[in-house]
Amino acid sequence: MPIQDSNPAQDSSAVHNPVYNQHDPLSFVNQIRDYLHSPPDLIIHSLVISPDVPCSCLFLDTLTDKDKIEHELLSFLSEKACFEDVTHADEMISVLKGRIPFSSISSSDDFTLCVNSLLKGVCLIVVAGAPEVLWINVSQTSKRSVAEPMTESTVRGPQVGFTEDITVNLSLLRKRVRNVHLVIEQITAGTETETNMALIYLDNLASGPVIEEFRKRLAAIHTDSILDSAYVEEWLRERTYSPFSTILSTERPDILTSHLLEGGVGVIVDGSPIALVGPITFFQFFIAPEDYYQSADIATLLRWVRFLSFMLSVFVPALYVAVVSFQQELLPHSLLISIAGQREGVPFPAFVEAALMMVTFEVLREAGLRMPRIAGQAISIVGALVLGQAAVTAGLVSTAMVIVVAITAISNFVSPSYSFGITQRLLQFFYLMLAGAMGLFGLLCGVLMTVVHLASLKSFNVPYLSPVAPTVLSDWKDILVRVPRPWMDAYPRMNGTRKKSRKRL
Amino acid sequence: MNAVFQKLAVSGIMLCCLTGCWDRIEINELAVAGLVGSEIDPQTHEQIVYYQIVNPGAYSSESNGRSKAPVYTYKVQGKSKGELAQLSSDTLPRKLFTDHYQSHIVTEQYARDGLRTFLNYYERQFNRRSSLYLFVTDSPLSDVMMTFTPLEQLPGRLLRSLVSNTNNATGRISLKSRVKDLVENMDSTTLTMLPIVSLKGEKPILSANRFDDINGNQSNLVLTGAAVFKQDQMIGKVSLWENGYYNLLKGEAGNFFESILLDDRVVDLYAHKIKTKQQLTLRNGAPVWNVEITAHLALRNDEQTEKLTWDNLSKITDQFDLKLMKTSEKLYAQAIEKKWDLFGLEEEIKYKRGNAWKKLQQQENAWAQTKLHVTIKSKIENIGEIVDPYKGGAGNGKE
Amino acid sequence: MEKSKLTVWQFFVLTLSFLIGTSFFFTPGGLIAAAKQDAWIVPLWAGTAGILAALVWLHLSKLHAGLSIVQICIKVAGRPIGGFFALLYIFYFIQLAAFITRNLGDFMKQALMPLTPLTVFHVMFLFVTGYAVFKGIETIARSSELLFLIMAATFIFVLCLALLEWDWGRFQGIFRMDVWKTMKETSSIFGFPFMEGVIFLMLFPFVQSKKVKSSFILAYAVATILLSFSTFITIGVLGVTRASHDTYPFFVIVQEIHIGTFFEHLESTMALILLVAIFIKLSIAYYCSVLGICQLFKIKNRFWITIALILLISGLAMGYDNVVENIEFSKKYDFAYTILYSMVLPCLLLLVTWIRRIRNKRTEEPAS
């Protein structure tokens, strides 16, 4: 396990300079206890395994499987018969290593390493007179079991989501890709938290430069703590500031797997149920996992519905404002009259009206997320009444505006990716402001700005707008439409996969 | 550097944006014109324009207690056309919005004086569409502009619907009676026919109370004929029935309606899917305007006592073709007499190539010698629900 | 120097959008006024001339592979004289950008927002374009690729609707023009848009593929056909009489489109197409000016040049007062003005290059 030199805890340990002294195991044990500030969950169990060899067993009972230690390790050690033939403490370590019925077993004489491993759920066995300390990995943390994904649910398809535990997550992946080419590289980052991360890819598919880029960016993480994959995401992103995410975050192992199988590279962070995948392009945010579990024609239709609702959610408020307060000539005559009728007596300009309603909606949504579930009903009643009925009756906003906000809000929820949904909300306000100030011209400038921005983005050297710009026609079959599986015989070319064809030759 | 650029860009754009508000105008600050009428004051020779402004309050969902008049008409008088639109701000409490009014009416007198300046003014405006219908009225303009119309409460839209309905039902008003059609014929000799609208009854109805009155006919706007325009000037009037024929010959009528007499019994026929082919040829040194018409007929009314048979049907179509042919030729002759170049023959001859045409091209009024040759091919497609009419009366029962 | 690459398709899209982008909107009116029903033939010969010119440029750039026109000037004619030529070119690009910007401003002010000052449109649009320019040619190319699709789709959609008004009768009197006279009257079309393609001498080095030649020529051919086609459509839909009187005939066509009585007023789609087209064209001209300055004065960072040019271009764009002056100017001087940059200077450079080659050979021959 690599050790970070800059760890302040270790710096202070250098002052004490405690070294494992094989002749004085007791002081070593005491040092460890002092070093950890004698925590209540540190258990030091002394026992005699062989007539002349006393030993101590150290572990943190909050991080370890106490059952395992008591029933398996300690009962094994206390069976005197096993070690009667061993008299010399020097041999004891190798004998123990060979005989203790645990698979994860090793030894070391480094103090800091010992302390660190103790914090990772290792049980240390200090044998008096032995040159090294024995480690037995019996870690067990409290974790929840594998459950349905919370944010990305599907009707059909696997109902499994990642959990907070990296080993469980990796096992979920391994189960899906039983392949020698699946590479899992372990990386630790965060000087204080020492968080484990796994870089995952298929070495016969993922392109070398992309993997290299991932490694480079992961290695560049200089932070004290990583509590969630979101922390890593910000390090992994392109340097340019952008509301558009160039990394897909997912809590579904099947999505991660499907990206790996198309030459993507994934990162799983211990302690986070959200995995990160890259490279990802703009149009892939319109793909929902369900697309692959439904027939191709329906999936295509739904994909277009998603494109449409993206357009709606981003443009409707801005367009409404632009048309109602700048370019009224664009409205059909009957619609113009009906909107004019509704707006009779509304005191605010359309822009203020729209901003008011949109902000109210955002507040309601935020309140809905934060409040305790039990209060849910109250807020939905208030929300529905305030947003809908009362505001119109009071003559504060026009009915058309309520519909506009409702359409915007509903189409926003269509987005398969939550983070992309938030991006849409940012865009909404950006466009709304431009439209409120400059009408259609402002809106168009905003759109052009967005297009330029999107075109300038790259996700791990894959242009963000591919396969449309640059045009990669063969990739359109899984972006703009979803063709049936048998036709998808080539890997996406934009990812630059090593193999080109899915057919096994 | 990037950050500096972004900050600069954002602040620059924001500053720029603010001036955009000079163009901002809320929809409820607009006076949406639905119908506009113009005339010239015969005494002072000043321009008069009537703006019929839609009252959005009448369309508001919470209009309880508000006025129910769907439109208000404002009259503006001024020296020139450009001035009128500006002067409207003296009377209108809201900004005049002419971007999509539905129809424009001019008086007959105005039309006869020539609409050139009006058309130029109109085409210059960026915010007006030339695809709207232009009407000529022979009633006093103020009455036409100030009457409430039932059912379709916006008179502008009413007129538009009248044109398309008439065109559908009888083809007597061409859909090409828009401002742009008139403008297009400005440089050519082709005549343009614009619908004439009149006020039915003596007096306009000025109060919205009429909407509670069952009599829908009263003081309504109706189409009564067509005005004939040569370039920008109105040169004559034809009845709707005549105009139907002209449209048919011009190929502008998609539908047509005519009654024929067969053994003194009336048969009403509705022709649709009309296709017209026109060609100018020379026959014995004289120009001939060949018009070939094919039509599908529907039997709307048949007062014959006979059962419909193959024979009978062909009799009907023959009679129909004959009548159309005869009437067309008669009407064409009338038009020639009045020096109406309905089909732009003058130009047609001008653009012909070949020696034979050269002679004609040198003659003035050569087009007036043009003969009309109409061939009509029609077939009955739809005979309605009954083949054999109910005969009733004596001698028709079972013997 | 940035190391960017353009694909052949991207280059095709850039060339096509540059040529057709604004001209399909601005030229038909003038052409129809001059050549009546036969106006659609004019772009055909102008395009042919354009292709010939393109061959000259391609040859020039082939002789100096990997160099832009600014670098070619310096290489061929030496730093003082070549630098002067290069400056001329840069000024031409800037002036072109100013022209395009003004086109946008005029249109916006007339059609959509009459009260907002022109400069606001200019500066705002230049900021957006400047952002693209700052991001580099690859970004411009990729944005163009995406926008081109949207533009083409909208254009086809609008076109299909416009064809409802089609009438063959409007072509009465076709094929009766006096070719020489028409050619003289419509000489501006040689300049705008076909000779303006000389700007691509800045961009040839970015295309690695050998197909650059065919894609460039193909874009010229397609642009020619499209321009002729759009003139043809204008005649058939709007008629010669009205088209020759309107400032923006295409806009009028779209204004009058309707589907039933509900879908009317589709001119916003036209504004969309035009704005996007102007964006692509402007970003190319703008980028080439910036790139030219950077190459001439060996400046590494484009940022400040980009910013400074916003001011210069928006200032130059105010150079005349109204559309009439613009139309008159391009009618009278556009041809002569662009021919200087597109034919005279490149031919001169080509000539000098040949002379140098021959001389080099002569000096080399005795040596070997």
pLDDT at A183: 92
Structure tokens at B317: 């179509």
Residues A367 and A413 in one domain: yes
Chains in contact with chain C (at least 3 beta-carbon pairs closer than 8 A): A, B
Rounded distance between C-alpha atoms, residue C189 and residue B266, angstroms: 63
C264 and chain A in contact, CB less than 8 A: yes
Q: Which of A110-114, A154-158, B178-182, B274-278 has the lowest mean pLDDT?
A: A110-114
| Chain C residues with CB-CB distance to B19 below 8 A | 116-117, 120
Of A338, A395, A445, the CB nearest to B59: A338
Out of A145-149, A411-415, B289-293, C258-262, pick the least confident. C258-262
pLDDT in tens, A211-233: 999 999 999 888 888 888 888 98
Q: Has residue A21 been placed in a domain?
A: yes
Q: Which residues of B67-95 are buried (b: 16+ CB within 10 A; e: fewer)?
A: eebbbebbebebeebeebbebbeeebebe
Q: Please give the span between the terminal C-alpha atoms of chain B, in angstroms, as a whole number.
A: 108
Contact C252 B130 (CB under 8 A): yes
Pair (A298, A274) in one structural domain: no
Q: What is the reported pLDDT for B396?
A: 53
C124/B13 Cβ within 8 A: yes
Chain A CB contacts of C139 below 8 Å: 452, 455-456
State whether A375 and A428 are in the same domain. yes
C-alpha distances in angstroms, A179 versus A88, A184, A269, B280, C356?
46, 12, 22, 81, 64
The verdict on B31 and B56 lying in the same domain is yes
- Answer yes or no: do C142 and A455 touch at CB < 8 A: yes
Q: What angle do CA B304, B308, B314 make, to 5 degrees?
A: 95
**Is 60 exceeded by the pLDDT of residue B144?**
yes
Instruction: Indicate if A252 and A303 belong to the same structural domain.
Output: no
Q: Both tokens of residue C116? A: 């907002």
pLDDT in tens, C39-92: 888 899 999 999 999 999 999 988 888 888 999 999 888 888 999 999 999 999
For residues A189 and A11, what is the distance between their CA atoms, to the nearest angstrom? 18
Torsion of CA A396, A399, A402, A403, to 10 degrees: -170
pLDDT, tens digit, for every residue of A257-305? 999 998 899 999 988 999 999 899 999 999 888 888 889 999 999 999 9
Output the average pLDDT for chain B.
86
pTM of the model: 0.88
Percent helix, percent strand, percent coil in chain A, to nearest 5: 50, 15, 35
What is the nearest CA distance from B18 to chain A, expressed in angstroms? 6
| Chain B: closest CA distance from residue A159 (Å) | 44
pLDDT for the residue numbered C132: 93
Does residue B166 sit in the same domain as residue B32? Answer: yes
- How far apart are the C-alpha atoms of A187 and B395, rounded to whole Å? 109
The reply to whether B56 and B107 lie within a common domain is yes
Per the listing, tokens 């040529």 go with C19
Mutant choice from A337, A447, A452, A456 vs B, greatest count of B C-beta within 10 A: A337
Residues A317 and A357 in one domain: yes
Question: Are both A360 and A263 inside the same structural domain?
Answer: no
pLDDT tens-digit series, residues B319-346: 999 999 999 999 999 988 888 888 888 8
Contacts of C142 in chain A (CB under 8 A): 455-456, 463, 465, 469-470
Contacts of C264 in chain A (CB under 8 A): 332-333
Chain B contact set for C246 (CB, 8 A): 123
Are residues B349 and C173 in contact, defined by beta-carbon separation less than 8 angstroms? no
Distance from CA of A390 to the nearest CA of C (A): 31
| Final residue belonging to a domain, choices A255, A280, A305 | A280
Measured CA to CA, the distance from residue C91 to residue C79 in angstroms comes to 17
Query: Which of B194, B257, B196, B243 has its CA nearest to residue B221?
Result: B196
Residues A126 and A31 in one domain: yes
**Number of compact structural domains in chain A:** 3
- Provide the number of structural domains found in chain C: 1
C21: domain CATH number is 1.20.1740.10
Measure the CA–CA gap between C95 and C87, rounded to whole angstroms. 12
In this predicted structure, the answer to whether residue A454 has a pLDDT above a threshold of 90 is: yes
**Domain endpoint, select from B216, B240, B264:** B240
Residue A9 has pLDDT above 50, yes or no: no
CB C9 to CB A456 under 8 A?
no
Inter-chain residue contact C123 with B16, CB threshold 8 Å:
yes
What is the length of chain B?
Answer: 399
Residues B64 and B203 in one domain: yes
B→C interface, C-beta within 8 Å: 1, 4-5, 8-9, 12-13, 16-17, 19-20, 22-23, 99-100, 123, 126, 129-131, 160, 180, 183-188, 347-348, 350-351
C209 lies within 8 A of chain A by CB: no
The residue among B213, B240, B267 that closes a domain is: B240
Phi, psi of B52 (to 5 degrees): -100, 110
pLDDT at position B13 is 66
The per-residue b/e assignment along B237-268, b for 16 or more CB within 10 angstroms, e otherwise, is bbebebbbbbbbbbbbbbbbbbebebeeeebe
Least confident of A302-311, A354-363, B6-15: B6-15
Query: Residue A2's pLDDT is what?
Result: 42
**Distance of alpha carbon C136 from alpha carbon C286, whole angstroms:** 11
Query: HSE-up of A469 (CA within 13 Å, CB side)?
Result: 26
8 Å CB contact of C256 and B180: yes
Q: What percent of chain B has pLDDT over 70?
A: 95
- Tell me whether 0.85 is exceeded by the ipTM: yes
Q: Are residues B342 and B233 in the same domain?
A: no
pLDDT at residue A320 greater than cutoff 90: yes
Mutate which of A328, A330, A441 to disrupt the B interface (most B C-beta within 10 Å)? A328
Closest CA to B189 of B347, B357, B318, B337: B347
Domain annotation covers residue B22: no
Interface probe, candidates A333, A336, A451, chain C, greatest C C-beta count within 10 A: A451
Shared-domain flag, residues A310 and A340: yes
Q: Specify if B262 maps to a domain.
A: yes
Three-state DSSP at A301 gives helix
Q: Is residue C98 domain-resident? A: yes
**Spatial distance between the Cα atoms of A119 and A194, rounded to a whole number of angstroms:** 10
Residues A212, A328 within the same domain: no
The answer to whether C147 contacts chain A (CB < 8 Å) is yes
**For residues A17 and A134, which has the higher predicted lDDT (pLDDT)?**
A134
Asked whether residue B232 falls in the same domain as residue B330, the answer is: no
Q: Which structural domain, as residue segments, surrounds residue B330?
A: 255-399
Cα–Cα distance between A182 and A199 in angstroms, integer? 10
Average pLDDT over residues A311-328: 92
Q: Are residues A430 and A323 part of one domain?
A: yes
Residue with tokens 């019925």: A101
Residues of chain A with Cβ-Cβ distance to B54 below 8 Å are 337, 340
Q: Which three-class secondary structure state does DSSP give residue A424? A: helix
- Report the distance separating Cα A344 and Cα A392, nearest Å: 12
Chain A residues with beta carbon closer than 8 angstroms to that of C261? 332-333
Please report whether residue C183 resides in a domain: yes
Q: Measured between alpha carbons, how far is C290 from C299 in angstroms, rounded to an integer?
A: 10
| B265 and B224 belong to one structural domain | no
Residues of A whose CB is below 8 A from B6: 241
Among partner residues A325, A346, A434, which is closest to B24 by beta-carbon distance?
A325
Our count of domains for chain B comes to: 2
Lowest mean pLDDT segment, chosen from A42-56, A272-286, B10-24:
B10-24
Residues from chain A contacting residue B30 (CB–CB below 8 Å): 328, 340
CA angle B88, B89, B95 (to 5 degrees): 100
Share of chain C above pLDDT 90, in %: 31
Domain with C66 in it: 8-330
Q: Which domain holds residue A79?
A: 8-137
Calculate how close chain C gets to A354, using CA atoms only, in Å: 22
Q: Is C11 on the interface with A (CB under 8 A)?
A: no
Whether the predicted pLDDT of B399 surpasses 50 = no
CA-nearest residue to C127 within chain B is B9
**∠ CA B354-B357-B362, rounded to 5°:** 125
Is A81 found in the same domain as A27?
yes
A505: confidence class by pLDDT, cuts 50, 70, 90: low
Chains with at least 3 CB pairs less than 8 angstroms from chain B? A, C
Mutate which of B98, B119, B128, B131 to test chain C, going by most C C-beta atoms within 10 A? B131
Do A314 and A399 belong together in one domain? yes
Closest-CA distance, A189 to chain B, in angstroms, reads 29
Measure CA B252 to chain center.
11
| Separation in Å, CA of C102 to nearest CA in chain A | 15
In a domain, C360, yes or no: no
- Residue from the list A329, A440, A444 with its beta carbon closest to the beta carbon of C265: A329
Based on the fold, state whether residues B163 and B268 are members of the same structural domain: no
Per-residue pLDDT at B165: 92
CATH code at position B323: 3.30.300.210
The answer to whether residue A142 is domain-embedded is: no
Task: Please indicate whether, in this complex, the C-beta atoms of B22 and C127 are within 8 angstroms of each other.
Answer: no
- Candidate from C131, C242, C255 with C-beta closest to B129: C255
Q: Which among A337, A349, A438 is the nearest to B26, CB-wise?
A: A349
The predicted pLDDT at position A18 comes to 55
Q: Which residues of B touch C314 (CB under 8 A)?
A: none
Question: What digits encode the pLDDT tens for the residues C312-351?
Answer: 999 998 887 777 888 888 778 888 888 888 889 999 999 9
Q: Cβ–Cβ contacts within 10 Å for residue A224, how many?
A: 12
User: Cis peptide before C193, with omega less than 30 degrees from 0?
Assistant: yes
Output the pLDDT for position B198: 93
The predicted-structure confidence for C46-55, as pLDDT tens digits, reads as follows 999 999 999 9
Do residues B52 and B146 share a domain?
A: yes
- Over the range C161-194, which residues count as b (16 or more CB within 10 Å of their CB) and which as e? bbeebeeeebbebeeebeeeebbebbbbbbbbbb
